[in-house]
Structure 1
Amino acid sequence: MRSERSWPPSRWTRFLPVRCPIMTEPEFSRAIRLDTLGAAPRTLTIAAEATERAALARRFGLLALDSLEAELSLAAEGEVVTLTGRLLAKATQACIASGAPVPAAIDEPIALAFRPAPTAGQPDEEIELGQNDMEVMFHDGAAIDVGEAVAQSLALALDPYPRAPDAEAALNEAGVKSETEAGPFAALAALKAKPKG
Protein backbone atom coordinates (compact mmCIF):
# COMPACT_ATOMS: atom_id res chain seq x y z
CA MET A 1 0.00 0.00 0.00
CA ARG A 2 1.25 3.47 -0.84
CA SER A 3 1.92 6.16 1.73
CA GLU A 4 0.75 9.74 1.25
CA ARG A 5 2.75 12.71 2.44
CA SER A 6 1.17 15.72 0.75
CA TRP A 7 -2.12 17.57 0.85
CA PRO A 8 -4.72 17.26 -0.53
CA PRO A 9 -5.19 13.50 -0.33
CA SER A 10 -7.55 11.95 -2.85
CA ARG A 11 -10.79 10.25 -1.89
CA TRP A 12 -9.00 6.92 -2.41
CA THR A 13 -6.13 7.68 0.00
CA ARG A 14 -8.19 8.93 2.90
CA PHE A 15 -6.80 6.23 5.22
CA LEU A 16 -3.17 7.18 4.57
CA PRO A 17 -0.96 9.59 6.56
CA VAL A 18 -1.58 13.26 5.79
CA ARG A 19 0.97 15.99 6.38
CA CYS A 20 -0.54 19.42 6.88
CA PRO A 21 0.67 22.11 4.49
CA ILE A 22 3.04 24.72 5.90
CA MET A 23 0.93 27.80 6.53
CA THR A 24 1.66 30.87 8.61
CA GLU A 25 -2.01 31.34 9.45
CA PRO A 26 -4.39 28.44 8.68
CA GLU A 27 -7.81 29.62 7.55
CA PHE A 28 -9.61 27.77 10.34
CA SER A 29 -7.22 27.25 13.24
CA ARG A 30 -8.28 25.84 16.61
CA ALA A 31 -5.12 24.82 18.45
CA ILE A 32 -5.33 22.51 21.47
CA ARG A 33 -2.27 22.13 23.73
CA LEU A 34 -1.24 18.53 24.22
CA ASP A 35 -0.59 19.04 27.94
CA THR A 36 -4.31 19.77 28.42
CA LEU A 37 -5.33 16.34 27.11
CA GLY A 38 -5.42 13.01 28.87
CA ALA A 39 -6.92 9.54 28.62
CA ALA A 40 -10.35 10.85 29.63
CA PRO A 41 -12.17 12.15 26.54
CA ARG A 42 -12.44 15.91 26.18
CA THR A 43 -15.44 17.08 24.16
CA LEU A 44 -15.75 20.36 22.30
CA THR A 45 -17.72 21.99 19.51
CA ILE A 46 -16.06 24.28 16.98
CA ALA A 47 -17.63 26.44 14.26
CA ALA A 48 -16.04 28.51 11.51
CA GLU A 49 -16.78 32.23 11.39
CA ALA A 50 -17.79 34.02 8.19
CA THR A 51 -14.26 35.19 7.32
CA GLU A 52 -12.88 31.70 7.96
CA ARG A 53 -15.55 30.10 5.79
CA ALA A 54 -14.81 32.54 2.97
CA ALA A 55 -11.10 31.70 3.15
CA LEU A 56 -11.83 27.96 3.14
CA ALA A 57 -14.18 28.38 0.17
CA ARG A 58 -11.31 29.97 -1.77
CA ARG A 59 -8.93 27.21 -0.70
CA PHE A 60 -11.23 24.41 -1.83
CA GLY A 61 -12.67 26.13 -4.91
CA LEU A 62 -16.20 26.45 -3.53
CA LEU A 63 -18.76 29.01 -4.60
CA ALA A 64 -19.79 29.37 -0.96
CA LEU A 65 -19.41 27.74 2.43
CA ASP A 66 -22.47 28.74 4.42
CA SER A 67 -21.74 26.76 7.56
CA LEU A 68 -19.04 24.54 9.04
CA GLU A 69 -19.04 23.06 12.51
CA ALA A 70 -17.89 19.91 14.24
CA GLU A 71 -18.64 18.10 17.47
CA LEU A 72 -15.39 16.50 18.60
CA SER A 73 -13.97 14.21 21.25
CA LEU A 74 -10.22 14.11 22.02
CA ALA A 75 -8.29 11.54 24.02
CA ALA A 76 -4.53 11.13 24.44
CA GLU A 77 -2.55 7.96 24.93
CA GLY A 78 1.13 8.73 25.19
CA GLU A 79 2.09 10.91 22.22
CA VAL A 80 -0.91 9.86 20.14
CA VAL A 81 -4.14 11.85 20.24
CA THR A 82 -7.32 10.32 18.87
CA LEU A 83 -9.98 12.63 17.46
CA THR A 84 -13.50 11.42 16.77
CA GLY A 85 -16.74 13.26 16.16
CA ARG A 86 -19.05 14.58 13.50
CA LEU A 87 -18.67 17.16 10.74
CA LEU A 88 -21.62 19.30 9.65
CA ALA A 89 -21.41 21.71 6.72
CA LYS A 90 -23.43 23.42 4.02
CA ALA A 91 -21.55 24.39 0.88
CA THR A 92 -22.13 25.33 -2.74
CA GLN A 93 -19.92 23.75 -5.38
CA ALA A 94 -19.59 24.57 -9.08
CA CYS A 95 -20.86 21.98 -11.54
CA ILE A 96 -17.90 20.46 -13.42
CA ALA A 97 -19.77 20.78 -16.72
CA SER A 98 -21.71 24.04 -16.59
CA GLY A 99 -20.34 25.90 -13.57
CA ALA A 100 -23.87 26.10 -12.17
CA PRO A 101 -24.20 26.08 -8.37
CA VAL A 102 -24.60 22.65 -6.76
CA PRO A 103 -25.72 22.64 -3.09
CA ALA A 104 -23.92 20.20 -0.78
CA ALA A 105 -25.10 19.22 2.70
CA ILE A 106 -22.46 17.29 4.63
CA ASP A 107 -23.06 15.25 7.77
CA GLU A 108 -20.23 12.77 8.24
CA PRO A 109 -18.23 11.14 11.04
CA ILE A 110 -14.61 12.14 11.67
CA ALA A 111 -11.95 9.78 12.99
CA LEU A 112 -8.23 10.42 12.89
CA ALA A 113 -5.06 10.09 14.96
CA PHE A 114 -2.45 12.77 15.59
CA ARG A 115 1.09 11.36 15.84
CA PRO A 116 4.47 13.02 16.44
CA ALA A 117 6.02 14.45 13.28
CA PRO A 118 9.29 12.83 12.08
CA THR A 119 12.34 14.62 13.46
CA ALA A 120 14.42 16.88 11.24
CA GLY A 121 16.68 14.93 8.92
CA GLN A 122 14.74 11.73 9.52
CA PRO A 123 12.80 10.38 6.51
CA ASP A 124 9.05 9.99 6.89
CA GLU A 125 8.13 6.57 8.17
CA GLU A 126 6.16 4.40 5.79
CA ILE A 127 2.86 3.69 7.52
CA GLU A 128 0.63 1.02 6.07
CA LEU A 129 -2.97 1.29 7.19
CA GLY A 130 -5.89 -1.02 6.68
CA GLN A 131 -9.28 0.06 5.41
CA ASN A 132 -10.65 0.37 8.94
CA ASP A 133 -7.72 2.37 10.31
CA MET A 134 -7.86 6.11 10.96
CA GLU A 135 -6.34 8.91 8.97
CA VAL A 136 -3.04 10.12 10.40
CA MET A 137 -1.94 13.73 10.89
CA PHE A 138 1.30 14.87 12.49
CA HIS A 139 1.77 17.20 15.46
CA ASP A 140 4.81 19.14 16.69
CA GLY A 141 4.77 17.78 20.23
CA ALA A 142 3.18 20.92 21.67
CA ALA A 143 -0.28 21.25 20.15
CA ILE A 144 -2.71 19.88 17.59
CA ASP A 145 -4.90 21.96 15.28
CA VAL A 146 -8.39 20.48 15.28
CA GLY A 147 -9.65 23.26 13.02
CA GLU A 148 -7.26 22.24 10.25
CA ALA A 149 -8.24 18.60 10.82
CA VAL A 150 -11.88 19.53 10.30
CA ALA A 151 -10.99 21.58 7.20
CA GLN A 152 -9.19 18.62 5.64
CA SER A 153 -12.08 16.32 6.55
CA LEU A 154 -14.42 18.74 4.78
CA ALA A 155 -12.29 18.55 1.63
CA LEU A 156 -12.50 14.75 1.69
CA ALA A 157 -16.27 14.82 2.18
CA LEU A 158 -16.94 17.08 -0.82
CA ASP A 159 -18.03 15.52 -4.11
CA PRO A 160 -14.98 15.71 -6.41
CA TYR A 161 -17.25 15.79 -9.49
CA PRO A 162 -20.34 17.86 -8.60
CA ARG A 163 -23.01 17.84 -11.30
CA ALA A 164 -25.98 20.15 -11.74
CA PRO A 165 -29.20 18.92 -13.40
CA ASP A 166 -28.05 20.49 -16.68
CA ALA A 167 -24.63 18.83 -16.60
CA GLU A 168 -25.44 16.17 -19.18
CA ALA A 169 -26.81 18.72 -21.63
CA ALA A 170 -23.77 20.96 -21.18
CA LEU A 171 -21.43 18.04 -21.82
CA ASN A 172 -23.33 16.96 -24.93
CA GLU A 173 -23.25 20.52 -26.25
CA ALA A 174 -19.48 20.55 -25.74
CA GLY A 175 -19.19 17.28 -27.68
CA VAL A 176 -18.36 15.13 -24.64
CA LYS A 177 -19.89 11.66 -24.87
CA SER A 178 -21.60 10.08 -21.91
CA GLU A 179 -20.36 6.80 -20.45
CA THR A 180 -23.23 5.01 -22.21
CA GLU A 181 -22.36 6.55 -25.57
CA ALA A 182 -18.63 5.97 -25.25
CA GLY A 183 -18.67 2.58 -23.51
CA PRO A 184 -17.99 -0.86 -24.99
CA PHE A 185 -21.71 -1.65 -25.34
CA ALA A 186 -22.17 1.46 -27.50
CA ALA A 187 -19.37 0.31 -29.78
CA LEU A 188 -20.94 -3.16 -30.02
CA ALA A 189 -24.32 -1.66 -30.87
CA ALA A 190 -22.71 0.43 -33.61
CA LEU A 191 -21.12 -2.66 -35.12
CA LYS A 192 -24.44 -4.50 -35.12
CA ALA A 193 -26.16 -1.54 -36.77
CA LYS A 194 -23.51 -1.31 -39.52
CA PRO A 195 -24.83 -2.70 -42.86
CA LYS A 196 -23.22 -5.95 -43.92
CA GLY A 197 -21.19 -5.62 -47.13
Structure 2
Amino acid sequence: MSDTEFTCIIDRRHLKEAPVTLNATPEQCAALAKRFDIPQVKSLTAKLTLQLEDGDVTAKGRMQASIVQSCAVSGDDLPVEVEESLSFRFVPDVTITEEEIELEEEDCDEIPYSGTSFDLGEAVAQSLALAIDPFLTGPNADQVRKEVGLLDETSAGPFAALAGLKTKD
Protein backbone atom coordinates (compact mmCIF):
# COMPACT_ATOMS: atom_id res chain seq x y z
CA MET A 1 0.00 0.00 0.00
CA SER A 2 2.75 2.47 0.88
CA ASP A 3 6.43 2.75 0.16
CA THR A 4 7.21 5.77 2.33
CA GLU A 5 10.13 6.03 4.71
CA PHE A 6 8.05 5.64 7.89
CA THR A 7 5.20 3.25 7.20
CA CYS A 8 2.75 1.91 9.75
CA ILE A 9 -0.24 0.38 7.98
CA ILE A 10 -3.34 0.17 10.17
CA ASP A 11 -6.40 -1.87 9.19
CA ARG A 12 -9.51 -0.25 10.66
CA ARG A 13 -11.12 -3.69 11.06
CA HIS A 14 -8.49 -4.67 13.64
CA LEU A 15 -8.29 -1.59 15.86
CA LYS A 16 -7.52 -2.16 19.51
CA GLU A 17 -8.22 0.07 22.50
CA ALA A 18 -4.53 0.28 23.43
CA PRO A 19 -2.61 3.24 22.03
CA VAL A 20 -0.38 2.68 19.00
CA THR A 21 3.27 3.60 19.53
CA LEU A 22 5.47 4.28 16.51
CA ASN A 23 9.26 4.42 16.83
CA ALA A 24 11.37 5.17 13.77
CA THR A 25 14.37 2.90 13.22
CA PRO A 26 17.79 4.44 12.53
CA GLU A 27 17.31 3.58 8.83
CA GLN A 28 13.90 5.26 8.76
CA CYS A 29 15.33 8.34 10.51
CA ALA A 30 18.10 8.58 7.90
CA ALA A 31 15.57 8.26 5.06
CA LEU A 32 13.32 10.94 6.59
CA ALA A 33 16.28 13.31 6.99
CA LYS A 34 17.08 12.85 3.31
CA ARG A 35 13.44 13.37 2.31
CA PHE A 36 13.11 16.55 4.39
CA ASP A 37 16.56 17.82 3.35
CA ILE A 38 17.85 18.24 6.89
CA PRO A 39 21.17 16.96 8.28
CA GLN A 40 19.68 14.41 10.69
CA VAL A 41 16.59 12.93 12.28
CA LYS A 42 17.95 11.42 15.48
CA SER A 43 14.64 10.01 16.71
CA LEU A 44 10.94 10.07 15.95
CA THR A 45 8.27 8.64 18.23
CA ALA A 46 4.50 9.00 18.28
CA LYS A 47 1.88 7.58 20.59
CA LEU A 48 -1.70 7.73 19.32
CA THR A 49 -5.09 6.42 20.32
CA LEU A 50 -7.36 5.34 17.47
CA GLN A 51 -11.13 5.43 17.49
CA LEU A 52 -13.43 4.06 14.77
CA GLU A 53 -16.75 5.70 13.97
CA ASP A 54 -18.73 4.81 10.82
CA GLY A 55 -15.63 4.06 8.74
CA ASP A 56 -13.78 7.18 9.92
CA VAL A 57 -10.79 6.68 12.20
CA THR A 58 -9.77 9.45 14.55
CA ALA A 59 -6.15 9.41 15.74
CA LYS A 60 -5.03 11.63 18.61
CA GLY A 61 -1.79 11.76 20.53
CA ARG A 62 1.70 13.23 20.65
CA MET A 63 4.81 13.19 18.51
CA GLN A 64 8.34 13.70 19.78
CA ALA A 65 11.38 14.04 17.58
CA SER A 66 14.99 15.00 17.93
CA ILE A 67 16.39 16.49 14.72
CA VAL A 68 19.32 18.53 13.44
CA GLN A 69 18.56 21.47 11.17
CA SER A 70 20.83 23.92 9.42
CA CYS A 71 20.74 27.60 10.33
CA ALA A 72 19.10 29.44 7.43
CA VAL A 73 21.82 32.12 7.52
CA SER A 74 25.09 30.55 8.70
CA GLY A 75 24.47 26.94 7.70
CA ASP A 76 25.52 25.78 11.19
CA ASP A 77 23.92 22.55 12.39
CA LEU A 78 21.45 23.17 15.22
CA PRO A 79 19.85 20.53 17.45
CA VAL A 80 16.06 20.87 17.65
CA GLU A 81 13.56 19.08 19.87
CA VAL A 82 10.05 18.75 18.44
CA GLU A 83 7.00 17.96 20.55
CA GLU A 84 3.61 18.29 18.89
CA SER A 85 0.05 17.27 19.57
CA LEU A 86 -1.38 15.23 16.71
CA SER A 87 -4.96 14.88 15.54
CA PHE A 88 -5.92 13.15 12.29
CA ARG A 89 -9.14 11.83 10.85
CA PHE A 90 -8.77 9.10 8.27
CA VAL A 91 -11.85 8.90 6.04
CA PRO A 92 -12.83 6.44 3.32
CA ASP A 93 -11.86 7.77 -0.11
CA VAL A 94 -14.87 8.96 -2.09
CA THR A 95 -15.12 9.61 -5.78
CA ILE A 96 -15.02 13.32 -6.49
CA THR A 97 -17.72 14.57 -8.78
CA GLU A 98 -17.40 17.63 -10.96
CA GLU A 99 -19.86 19.59 -8.88
CA GLU A 100 -18.49 22.32 -6.67
CA ILE A 101 -18.11 21.41 -3.01
CA GLU A 102 -17.36 23.62 -0.05
CA LEU A 103 -14.92 22.40 2.56
CA GLU A 104 -15.45 23.15 6.22
CA GLU A 105 -12.50 23.76 8.55
CA GLU A 106 -12.70 20.26 10.04
CA ASP A 107 -12.59 18.74 6.53
CA CYS A 108 -9.09 20.09 5.99
CA ASP A 109 -7.57 17.67 8.52
CA GLU A 110 -9.05 14.62 6.85
CA ILE A 111 -6.80 12.06 5.21
CA PRO A 112 -8.56 9.84 2.66
CA TYR A 113 -7.75 6.13 2.45
CA SER A 114 -8.80 3.32 0.13
CA GLY A 115 -10.08 -0.06 1.23
CA THR A 116 -9.79 -0.75 4.94
CA SER A 117 -6.20 0.35 5.64
CA PHE A 118 -4.35 3.63 6.06
CA ASP A 119 -0.74 4.65 6.72
CA LEU A 120 -0.47 6.16 10.19
CA GLY A 121 3.33 6.41 9.89
CA GLU A 122 3.13 8.62 6.82
CA ALA A 123 0.70 10.96 8.60
CA VAL A 124 3.20 11.27 11.48
CA ALA A 125 6.08 11.84 9.03
CA GLN A 126 4.15 14.63 7.31
CA SER A 127 3.47 16.21 10.70
CA LEU A 128 7.21 16.20 11.38
CA ALA A 129 7.80 17.88 8.02
CA LEU A 130 5.34 20.62 8.97
CA ALA A 131 7.11 21.13 12.32
CA ILE A 132 10.47 21.88 10.66
CA ASP A 133 11.19 25.62 10.70
CA PRO A 134 12.52 26.54 7.22
CA PHE A 135 13.88 29.86 8.55
CA LEU A 136 15.56 28.60 11.72
CA THR A 137 18.48 30.79 12.77
CA GLY A 138 21.21 30.04 15.25
CA PRO A 139 23.54 32.08 17.47
CA ASN A 140 25.98 32.89 14.64
CA ALA A 141 23.34 34.25 12.24
CA ASP A 142 23.85 37.94 13.11
CA GLN A 143 27.64 37.61 12.78
CA VAL A 144 27.27 36.13 9.30
CA ARG A 145 24.77 38.87 8.36
CA LYS A 146 27.33 41.50 9.45
CA GLU A 147 30.11 39.81 7.48
CA VAL A 148 28.11 39.85 4.25
CA GLY A 149 26.71 43.34 4.78
CA LEU A 150 23.15 42.43 5.62
CA LEU A 151 23.28 43.84 9.14
CA ASP A 152 24.38 47.37 9.84
CA GLU A 153 24.78 48.16 13.54
CA THR A 154 23.84 51.79 12.94
CA SER A 155 20.48 50.81 11.43
CA ALA A 156 17.42 51.22 13.60
CA GLY A 157 15.20 48.34 12.62
CA PRO A 158 14.30 46.44 9.49
CA PHE A 159 13.06 49.48 7.53
CA ALA A 160 16.11 51.68 8.13
CA ALA A 161 17.66 50.65 4.79
CA LEU A 162 14.47 51.67 2.99
CA ALA A 163 14.45 55.02 4.75
CA GLY A 164 18.03 55.56 3.58
CA LEU A 165 16.95 55.04 -0.02
CA LYS A 166 14.25 57.67 0.37
CA THR A 167 16.74 60.36 1.39
CA LYS A 168 18.80 59.74 -1.76
CA ASP A 169 16.00 60.96 -4.05
TM-score bracket for the superposition, by shorter chain length: 0.7 to 0.9
Of the candidates 132, 147, 151, which is equivalent to residue 173 of structure 1?
147
Question: Can you give the 5+ residue segments of structure 2 that lack an aligned partner in the other structure?
Answer: none
1:170 to 1:33, Cα distance in 2 relative to 1, 3 A? same
Cα-Cα RMSD:
2.9
Aligned length: 165
Q: Deviations over 1:96-141 (max 9, x none)?
A: 111110111011111111112232x6459542206xx872211113
Q: 1: CA distance between counterparts of 2:117 and 2:101? A: 21
Runs of 4+ in 1 over 4 A off after TM superposition: 123-126, 185-188
Task: Classify the secondary structure of the residue corresponding to 1:165.
Answer: coil
Please give the TM-score of this superposition, normalised by the length of structure 1. Answer: 0.72
Spell out, residue by residue over 1:65-93, the C-alpha distance to the aligned partner (whole angstroms, 9 max, x if none): 11101111000101211010010110000
**Residue type at the aligned position of 1:128:** E
Aligned equivalent of 2:41: 65
Q: 2:66 corresponds to which residue?
A: 90
Give the TM-score normalised by structure 2.
Answer: 0.83
The residue identity in structure 2 corresponding to 1:154 is L
Q: Distance in 2 between matches of 1:125 and 1:116?
A: 17
Partner in structure 1 of residue 82 of structure 2: 106
Distance in 2 between residues matched to 1:144 and 1:33, nearest whole Å: 7
Post-superposition Cα deviations, 1:133-182, rounded to whole Å, max 9, x if no partner, equal 8722111132011110110111112222111111122223233358x756
Percent identical residues: 35
Tell me, what secondary structure is at the counterpart of 1:76?
Answer: strand
Please tell me whether residue 183 in structure 1 is matched to residue 161 in structure 2. Answer: no
Q: Which moved more, 1:26-35 or 1:137-146?
A: 137-146
Candidates 9, 14, 20, aligned match of 1:44: 20
1:150 is aligned, of 124, 131, 150, to 124
